[in-house]
Chain A
């Protein structure tokens, strides 16, 4: 098969982002969990929670390192692979990009301090305080970078004249219609995913028979956090759907295979589409639910995909991505709800192997959902790179395709190596120094 520079540039960007997002998500969510565990441990004077924070922190360093270097990669790749886009949009998004590096800088400084000052202060609260700027830095950097992506979805705050941006209002560009829902969604799902990944690791250890108090506390903390962040995710998801209906109807219509504009539109779950005839088979149809999802009104009118010219429509396979992400998110939320209810009413069931297996699955599933969600969001705005202004094809590098292809292979190799070694280092790190051993040391 022959690929042109555009397809290869897209492929390489997808590859880098898909790899980076794993570490970025952990980078945003994990500090929150670490900080909470340390704070709770100090408050309750419970060494178990302090140890949790310490061990999570140790693993965190590895993921941060990979997150930082892949983040640097995508930062530069934006200019290397999409020079025309950066030339144009750079005039409008320079501000949030710049602010993101400030937030990142702030985080980097305090992370170094946090990592190397355990036991250095007489009052443990002072060490805990250092985790606050880390959280602020990582969450703000997620916020700023997501506003850039939001701008690409709903650009505003400028006029275009001969390829140059005029009458720019930087804050209006940054706080565009997509900003509130997108940033909220990104931040809470990162928190949720990190909590579930930690819960899954704990469940894995418990399934292997390590059921001490330390693990039970870890599971309790992470699962309660999952429920809280899960509910926040559901709210953010609902707001996002309402945003789409209003500002990016073609994305929602493609996600729902909703072709004709109509009142009281049905929600389509799953199913298979015959792309030639636009006929849907094997679907579950919930009457009028799409209208309700989009506008909180069962009889509201929802714009169909037929309103969008054929060459400006996103690919229709985004429906599968949308359904998968919603289904998986539903599983995660129900699971954490179930756990919390069991914890409250039937405490002896919390060690149930089936429940633990369910939690074990939820961790990787959460990460997979992040990936699917981003693919849905990004593929769903095709063919635009800057919706309404610039198409992907006009933005890509004009370098020869074999050069871009070569770079694709180079980075693929890099990510395979980084992924493999970081997994190996992380597993080794915890296997060679089990919690029980460390606990003894600390309690003595």
Chain B
């Protein structure tokens, strides 16, 4: 495996990690607000906070990790995306900033505030939409090089059916992933009321998620035929097949009220295969047609150094993450709220 390919795989893995943990986080904010608004179940708000409180900061790091890694491995990407995305990038940043800080204000402050919570819930749906446009842009056609500057063709993005299909997919899959996880969490906590609500949500969002995925898949054909054809090739198409199988597995267990943990694992694999199939087809481009993983790669020495640091870093992070999960996610007493 060449170093650039290794680099992009590492980054893709982190983006996938962010996709999962952030979806759970973003969706949880939405469900917590929903529960509060409908006055349905104060238990559910508590349940969600028990999960979120110790991990919200970690979620944010996954994102920082991805973009710092991208700039490190592929500095050219910083130039193109940076120049073009000043406005959408800044707006996404402001949303992220509001979300992160208002979570703390709401949860650690002395008084709970409905406004803070609303902002937290609402930004949870806007951020995935904003961030997913970066992926849309990577397909090409929305940036143009004009002399010494790179221009973002915003009206083209806003009128493109492909771009909206990606936004749709981002929002519904956030709600689906999050509901599937929280169903499992509620089950562990022995909170049957929340479990019922969340299970319904998981099943409800499963259908639009799979429809939106198919729609995105097909609309890539219209937008970027090269990418579409490369996804159809034999060495990638099986990933989408497996993704579908995992989806069926997940909904099967949730529907039959069995093995929610396994169901969530299936959800994770469903997105893993779809995400990597999509990514494999995208290669070698980072930004079609301007940057490939070879043209945009940093010098060899830095690439090697980054890979070494990455491995050393993982040796530090994996045991720490494991400890975090053991203390908060797999500790039955904590999940039940007894500690």
Residue numbers of A with Cβ under 8 A of B are: 58, 61-62, 64-66, 68-73, 75-84, 86-88, 90-92, 94-95, 97-102, 104-106, 108-113, 115-117, 120, 133, 164-166, 168-170, 397-399, 403-404, 406-407, 410-411, 414, 418, 421-422, 425, 428-429, 432-433
CA distance A164 to B296 in the complex (A): 11
Q: Interface segment, B23-31, B208-216, B320-328?
A: B320-328
CA distance A95 to B303 in the complex (A): 9
Q: Is the CB of A406 within 8 A of B149?
A: no
Q: Is the CB of B111 within 8 A of A428?
A: yes
Q: Interface segment, B71-79, B163-171, B174-182, B185-193?
A: B71-79
The A-contacting residues of B in range 147-161, CB under 8 angstroms, are 148-150
List A contacts of B148 (CB < 8 A). Answer: 398
Q: Which residue of A lies closest to B314 (CB)?
A: A102
CA distance A77 to B87 in the complex (A): 11
CA distance A64 to B103 in the complex (A): 12
- Shortest CB–CB separation between residue A70 and chain B, in angstroms? 7
A76-B89, A116-B54 known; 4 new pairs, CB 8 Å cut-off, are A79-B78, A83-B79, A90-B71, A399-B86
List A contacts of B82 (CB < 8 A). Answer: 79-83, 86, 397
Q: Is the CB of B83 within 8 A of A95?
A: no
List A contacts of B76 (CB < 8 A). Answer: 87
Q: Is the CB of A97 within 8 A of B83?
A: no
- Shortest CB–CB separation between residue A56 and chain B, in angstroms? 13
Q: Which residue of B lies closest to A166 (CB)?
A: B299
Q: Decide: A112 near B79, CB < 8 A? Known: A94-B306, A97-B68, A102-B313.
A: no
Q: Which residue of B lies closest to A108 (CB)?
A: B57
List B contacts of A106 (CB < 8 A). Answer: 316-317, 320
Q: Is the CB of A398 within 8 A of B83?
A: yes
Q: Is the CB of A94 within 8 A of B104?
A: no
Q: Which residue of B lies closest to A87 (CB)?
A: B79
List A contacts of B305 (CB < 8 A). Answer: 94-95, 170
List B contacts of A108 (CB < 8 A). Answer: 57-58, 60-61
Q: Is the CB of B298 within 8 A of A94?
A: yes
Q: Is the CB of B53 within 8 A of A112?
A: yes
Q: Is the CB of A86 within 8 A of B105?
A: no
Q: Is the CB of B306 within 8 A of A109?
A: no
Q: Which residue of A lies closest to B146 (CB)?
A: A398
CA distance A62 to B102 in the complex (A): 9
Q: Is B81 an interface residue (CB 8 A)?
A: yes
Pick from A71, A79, A169, A407 the residue with the most CB of B within 10 Å. A79
Q: Is the CB of A94 within 8 A of B302?
A: yes
Q: Is the CB of A75 within 8 A of B67?
A: yes
Q: Which residue of A lies closest to B71 (CB)?
A: A90
Q: Is the CB of B109 within 8 A of A92?
A: no
Q: Is B93 an interface residue (CB 8 A)?
A: yes
Q: Is the CB of A165 within 8 A of B109?
A: no
CA distance A407 to B148 in the complex (A): 21
Q: Is the CB of A407 within 8 A of B109?
A: no
CA distance A110 to B324 in the complex (A): 8
Q: Which residue of B lies closest to A418 (CB)?
A: B101
The 3 closest A-B pairs by CB, nearest first: A94-B72, A90-B75, A65-B104
Q: Is the CB of B108 within 8 A of A75?
A: no
Q: Is the CB of A69 within 8 A of B97?
A: yes
List B contacts of A116 (CB < 8 A). Answer: 53-54, 327-328
Q: Is the CB of A69 within 8 A of B101?
A: yes
Cβ 8 A contact of A98, one of B63, B91, B104, B310: B310
Cβ 8 A contact of B298, one of A70, A90, A117, A428: A90
List A contacts of B105 (CB < 8 A). Answer: 62, 65, 421-422, 425
CA distance A108 to B80 in the complex (A): 30
List A contacts of B73 (CB < 8 A). Answer: 94
List B contacts of A66 (CB < 8 A). Answer: 101, 104
CA distance A189 to B61 in the complex (A): 26
Q: Is the CB of A112 within 8 A of B301?
A: no
- Shortest CB–CB separation between residue B321 and chain A, in angstroms? 6
List B contacts of A428 (CB < 8 A). Answer: 109-111
Q: Is the CB of A68 within 8 A of B149?
A: no
Cβ 8 A contact of A411, one of B90, B306, B321: B90
Q: Is the CB of A98 within 8 A of B309?
A: yes
Q: Is the CB of B72 within 8 A of A73?
A: no
List B contacts of A86 (CB < 8 A). Answer: 71, 75, 78-79, 82
Pick from B73, B75, B100 the residue with the most CB of A within 10 Å. B75
List B contacts of A109 (CB < 8 A). Answer: 58, 317, 320-321, 323-324
- Shortest CB–CB separation between residue B292 and chain A, in angstroms? 16
Q: Which residue of A lies closest to B80 (CB)?
A: A83
CA distance A112 to B324 in the complex (A): 8
19 contacts between A and B (CB under 8 A): A72-B93, A81-B86, A83-B80, A84-B79, A86-B75, A90-B75, A91-B299, A94-B73, A94-B302, A98-B310, A99-B309, A116-B54, A168-B301, A170-B305, A398-B83, A399-B86, A404-B86, A407-B87, A432-B110
Q: Decide: A73 near B75, CB < 8 A? Known: A65-B103, A429-B108.
A: no
Cβ 8 A contact of B302, one of A84, A95, A418, A421: A95
Q: Decide: A72 near B83, CB < 8 A? Known: A92-B302, A429-B110.
A: no
Q: Is B94 an interface residue (CB 8 A)?
A: yes
Q: Is the CB of A105 within 8 A of B86?
A: no
Q: Which residue of A lies closest to B104 (CB)?
A: A65
Q: Is the CB of B94 within 8 A of A102?
A: no
CA distance A92 to B235 in the complex (A): 36
Cβ 8 A contact of A425, one of B63, B67, B110: B110
List A contacts of B323 (CB < 8 A). Answer: 109, 113
List B contacts of A407 (CB < 8 A). Answer: 86-87, 90
List A contacts of B320 (CB < 8 A). Answer: 106, 109-110, 133
CA distance A112 to B53 in the complex (A): 7
CA distance A9 to B109 in the complex (A): 34
Q: Is the CB of B67 within 8 A of A76?
A: yes
Q: Is the CB of A425 within 8 A of B109?
A: yes
- Shortest CB–CB separation between residue A425 and chain B, in angstroms? 4
Q: Which residue of B lies closest to A170 (CB)?
A: B305
CA distance A79 to B78 in the complex (A): 5
Q: Is B6 an interface residue (CB 8 A)?
A: no
CA distance A299 to B93 in the complex (A): 53
Q: Is the CB of B72 within 8 A of A112?
A: no
Q: Is the CB of B110 within 8 A of A410?
A: no
Q: Is the CB of A169 within 8 A of B149?
A: no
CA distance A351 to B64 in the complex (A): 47
CA distance A113 to B323 in the complex (A): 9
Q: Is B37 an interface residue (CB 8 A)?
A: no
CA distance A78 to B316 in the complex (A): 27
Pick from B54, B55, B67 the residue with the most CB of A within 10 Å. B54
Q: Is B332 an interface residue (CB 8 A)?
A: no
Q: Is the CB of B54 within 8 A of A112?
A: yes
List A contacts of B53 (CB < 8 A). Answer: 112, 115-116
Q: Is the CB of A64 within 8 A of B75?
A: no
CA distance A98 to B306 in the complex (A): 7
